[in-house]
């Protein structure tokens, strides 16, 4: 049982640090920077709370409103237990301390310490993740963000082309990837305006497609040539050229975004395969390097983080949530969860439908039971997470006949 609790009001410049005892009395308060000297000051403060040989600074839990940053990393590197408390939770506690809901660095630090003192059992210490797992987390999230950025720039290019170059949109509309395809971007760079596109020969179009490693080059070159020769509404030459330059600027951003996606995908894949848990993840249906990296990055590799499969499902937002009051009882899905893990779970469950007979049968059974599309996928995701939790806990590969016995198929 801790005798002292510490709270840190984190900021970009200085941090307010406060320590309270069992009665909630503030026994120490300092201000420190996010620097090696600041970390040493905090640790020295915690160490000097008692002179007894039974006291250790590691017995003093530290509450802070973030789980990232150099300050948290510095404290954890020294073995200090840290509890990350969501800012929205802290905001609700603020009304308990004062009806005026006043705010300052000192009062917030004291409030964080008292949150642990009164309700410490409701909050968990940050998991002990290996450096490999943290690297996978960073790269998997960066790859996901890069994909979103690539789609954003693709939409920009699409929006500009729609105003003056409908033939370019028609040319790539029915092909997977659309304007993101390498040959589509090469073609737009070669002919950024309708006039330049109409002047291209089939041979020139074929050479551009071949540079993008396009299959059936001659057939697609003939198709594109026919589309570009069709009569379309056009702007004046000067305006069309200006719009072409605007599109090229957006196209360069799209090219950079595509390069970033390729680079981060390769790095995330390498980091995932280098992790010891990767072979277990790879045995589950539809888990490739990217889905595996995202799952591993959000779940981590701390064996004590999720003691039960239900805890993991709740963290992912697929464990049901019950609202009950008097005679009213409603069971719904969780909206407060790890959004990254919830998002990848939807893709994982959907991809598993064509790669696992057990997953497909489970999904069909939920649909027949009355679940809608999203609810059935969410239920399947929970089933897959339970299987993953069992495999990681016992260090065994996934087995279809165990996860989905013949009577459930």
Mean pLDDT of 32-44: 89
The answer, yes or no, to whether residue 363 has pLDDT greater than 70, is yes
**What does the pLDDT look like over 48-68, one tens digit per residue?**
888 777 788 999 999 999 998
Pairwise CA distance, residues 157 & 180, whole Å: 10
Q: Convert the pLDDT of each residue in 272-282 to its tens digit.
A: 999 999 999 99
H or E stretch covering 339: helix 339-352
Q: Identify the pLDDT of residue 97.
A: 65
What pLDDT shows up at residue 212? 65
By three-state DSSP, how is residue 52 classified? coil
Banded model confidence at residue 92, pLDDT cuts 50, 70, 90: confident
Q: pLDDT value at position 101?
A: 66
What's the pLDDT score for residue 144? 97
- Residues 94-132: pLDDT tens digits? 877 667 667 788 889 999 999 999 999 989 999 999 999
Q: What one-character-per-residue DSSP string does 187-247 give? A: HHHH--SHHHHHT--HHHHHHHHHHTT-SSHHHHHHHHHHHHHS------HHHHHHHHHHH
Structure tokens at 359: 């997953």
Per-residue pLDDT tens over the stretch 264-305: 999 999 999 999 999 999 999 999 999 999 999 999 999 999
Which CATH entry fits the domain spanning 5-122: 3.30.230.10, 3.30.420.40, 3.40.250.10, 3.40.50.2000? 3.30.420.40
| pLDDT, averaged across the chain | 91
pLDDT attached to residue 208: 85
Query: Tokens for 91?
Result: 């905001």
b/e per residue 214-248 (b: at least 16 CB within 10 A): beebeebbeebbebbeeeeeeeeeeebbebbeebe
Quote the pLDDT of residue 409: 54
Burial code (b: 16+ CB inside 10 Å, e: under 16) for 125-156 equals ebeebeebbebbbebbbbbbebbebbeebbeb
**Which of 229, 170, 225 minimizes the C-alpha distance to 203?**
225
Strand partners of residue 82: 62
147-160 per-position pLDDT tens digit: 999 999 999 999 99
């Amino acid at each position: 049982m801790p005798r002292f609790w510490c709270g840190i009001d984190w900021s970009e410049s200085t941090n307010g640090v406060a320590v309270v005892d069992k009665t909630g009395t503030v026994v120490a308060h300092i201000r420190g920077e996010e620097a090696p000297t600041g970390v040493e000051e905090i640790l020295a403060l915690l160490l000097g709370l008692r002179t007894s040989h039974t006291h250790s600074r590691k017995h003093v839990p530290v509450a802070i409103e973030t789980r990232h940053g150099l300050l948290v990393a510095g404290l954890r590197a020294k073995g200090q237990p840290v509890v990350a408390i969501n800012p929205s939770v802290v905001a609700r506690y603020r009304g308990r301390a004062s009806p005026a809901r006043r705010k300052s660095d000192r009062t917030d630090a004291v409030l964080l310490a008292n949150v642990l003192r009164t309700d410490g059992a409701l909050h968990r210490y940050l998991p002990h993740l290996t450096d490999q797992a943290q690297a996978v987390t960073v790269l998997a999230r960066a790859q996901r963000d890069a994909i979103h950025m690539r789609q954003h720039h693709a939409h920009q290019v699409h929006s500009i082309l729609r105003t003056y170059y409908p033939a370019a949109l028609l040319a790539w509309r029915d092909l997977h990837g659309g304007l993101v395809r390498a040959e589509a971007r090469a073609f737009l760079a070669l002919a950024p305006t309708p006039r330049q596109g109409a002047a291209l020969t089939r041979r020139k179009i074929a050479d551009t497609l071949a540079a993008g490693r396009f299959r059936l080059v001659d057939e697609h070159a003939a198709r594109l040539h026919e589309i570009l020769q069709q009569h379309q509404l056009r702007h004046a030459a000067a305006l069309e050229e200006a719009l072409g330059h605007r599109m090229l600027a957006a196209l360069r951003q799209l090219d950079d975004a595509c390069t970033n996606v390729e680079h981060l995908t390769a790095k995330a894949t390498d980091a995932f395969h280098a992790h010891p848990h990767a072979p277990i993840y790879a045995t589950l249906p539809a888990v490739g390097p990217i889905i595996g990296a995202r799952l591993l990055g959000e779940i981590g590799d701390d064996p004590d983080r999720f003691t039960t499969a239900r805890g993991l499902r709740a963290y992912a937002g697929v464990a049901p949530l019950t609202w009950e009051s008097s005679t009213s009882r409603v069971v719904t899905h969780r909206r407060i969860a790890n959004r990254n893990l919830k998002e990848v779970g939807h893709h994982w469950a959907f991809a598993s439908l064509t790669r696992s007979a057990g997953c497909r049968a489970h999904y069909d059974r939920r649909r027949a039971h009355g679940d809608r599309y999203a609810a059935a996928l969410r239920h399947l995701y929970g089933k897959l997470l339970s299987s993953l939790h069992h495999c990681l806990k016992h260090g065994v590969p996934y087995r279809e006949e165990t996860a989905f016995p013949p009577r459930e198929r």
